[in-house]
């Protein structure tokens, strides 16, 4: 029996939500929307129904940003949509003890609180939404869907960090993230799933994942979502000696280091002006720091895709997804050009249209744009876990 599932997807700069009619094998969207932080303290709520008709498009007060569940529940009522029977949450990191999607009870909530140090940028806002939802819908089952679950079976050679055994036993390993996005790509490819797939999830957070026969075998992010390629405000991988230098010579505290690598680095730190790729494109004059930031992002992305191709011993399909991956034609063109040595050949007109396959028919690597459907994956998992006997 299908049931209405209200999903919450807390990111580092937004809260996406959706209402789905979901059953064991399918989830049909009834409504979707987002509360997006735009900068300078401004936020906006927009939502649409299954036909694309606007249900809301409004500036959001600070109180709504911090306590959004009531506003979204009211939106469902105003649109006369089915009331939710299940609540599903995207949780970026569950730490070493929570690796599989599960129903949320007090013990799971405690485990999520203990996992906060693994993703300090993401877990606190997600926990705030979980608590808000549990208070607003106390009788409904709540489900935690972890971004790390898709990567839980990575081979030892990919997930093991070169640290002493005692530290590794404390859970210090490569976890990988954007797992729900990767799941959604695998699900959408269906019978066309290739043996060797690379998924480039490019947004304010960005990662690259190598998928063999539908299973993650390596990914660019590590212990936390700060690792990998440079992102909107996150540094990506750094020489650990830089952090030691800042601690020893500059007197940085752990909190100051966290602020630096999570909120002041990446595209923002490189450009000195913005973390949003759209704004950087407008400011990217030759020789400018904005231009350098974009070039470094593309360079690191190309190197990381090449590394994942090595892990897979080749690549059959490369998928671009996420806000940047789905919408930035010039970035896709630049990265695809850097990968010409793999036999990847971009079709410029298809790329500009931004539709499905964007490679030429002669390309040895199939290049695709596939929208990330994390909320649909949350709805599917939530419906399955909350199904009554």
| Active site (catalytic) residues | 147
φ/ψ (deg, to 5) at 36: -110, 130
H-run or E-run covering 341: none
Q: How many CA atoms does the CB half-sphere of 289 hold within 13 Å?
A: 10
CB 374, CB 177: distance < 8 Å: no
CB 303, CB 295: distance < 8 Å: no
For 62-105, the three-class secondary structure string (H helix, E strand, C coil) is HHHHHCCHHHHHHHHHHCCCCCCCEEEEEECCCCCCCCCCEECC
Q: Where are the alpha helices (DSSP H) in the chain?
A: 62-66, 69-78, 106-114, 123-136, 156-159, 165-168, 179-189, 240-249, 254-263, 266-271, 277-283, 289-312, 322-327, 329-338, 348-353, 374-385
3-state SS, residue 347? coil
Q: Whose CA is closest to 325, among 196, 186, 181, 217?
A: 181
Q: Whose CA is closest to 43, among 52, 34, 56, 31?
A: 34
CB 316, CB 300: distance < 8 Å: no
Residue 137 tokens, joined: 């819908």
CB 177, CB 93: distance < 8 Å: yes
Q: How many CA atoms does the CB half-sphere of 320 hold within 13 Å?
A: 30
CA distances from 77 to 17, 55, 170, 229 (A): 15, 11, 46, 41
Largest CA distance in the chain: 63
d(CA 104, CA 142): 5
């Amino acid at each position: 029996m299908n049931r209405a599932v209200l999903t919450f997807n807390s990111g580092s700069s937004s809260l996406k939500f959706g209402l789905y009619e979901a059953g064991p094998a399918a989830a049909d969207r009834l409504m979707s929307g987002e509360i997006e932080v735009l900068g300078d303290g401004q936020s906006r709520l927009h939502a649409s129904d299954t036909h694309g008709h606007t249900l809301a498009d409004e500036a959001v007060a600070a109180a709504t940003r911090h306590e959004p569940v009531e506003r979204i529940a009211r939106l469902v009522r105003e649109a006369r949509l089915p009331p939710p029977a299940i609540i599903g949450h995207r949780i970026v990191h569950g730490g070493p003890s929570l690796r599989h999607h599960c129903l949320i009870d007090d013990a799971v909530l405690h485990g999520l609180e203990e996992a906060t140090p693994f993703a300090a940028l993401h877990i606190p806002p997600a926990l705030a939404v979980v608590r808000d939802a549990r208070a607003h819908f106390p009788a409904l089952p709540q489900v935690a869907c972890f971004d790390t679950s898709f990567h839980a079976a990575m081979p030892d050679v990919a997930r093991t960090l070169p640290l002493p055994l005692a530290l590794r036993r404390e859970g210090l390993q490569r976890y990988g993230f954007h797992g729900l996005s990767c799941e959604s790509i695998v699900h959408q490819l269906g019978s066309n799933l290739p043996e060797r797939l690379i998924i480039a999830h490019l947004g304010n957070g960005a990662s690259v994942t190598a998928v063999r026969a539908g299973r993650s075998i390596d990914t660019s992010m590590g212990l936390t979502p700060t690792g990998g390629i440079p992102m909107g405000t996150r540094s990506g991988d750094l020489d650990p000696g830089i952090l030691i230098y800042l601690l020893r010579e500059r007197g940085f505290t752990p909190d100051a280091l966290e602020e630096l690598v999570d909120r002041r680095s990446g595209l923002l730190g490189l450009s000195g002006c913005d973390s949003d790729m759209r704004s950087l494109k407008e400011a990217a004059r030759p020789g400018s720091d904005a231009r350098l930031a974009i070039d470094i992002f593309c360079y690191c992305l190309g190197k990381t895709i090449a590394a994942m191709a090595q892990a897979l011993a080749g690549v059959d399909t490369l998928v671009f997804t996420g806000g940047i991956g789905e919408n930035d034609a010039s970035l896709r063109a630049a990265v695809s050009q850097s990968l010409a040595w793999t036999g990847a050949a971009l079709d410029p007109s298809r790329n500009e249209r931004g539709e499905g396959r964007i490679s030429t028919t002669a390309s040895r690597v199939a290049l695709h744009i596939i929208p990330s459907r994390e909320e649909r994956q949350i709805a599917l998992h939530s419906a399955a876990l909350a199904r009554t006997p």
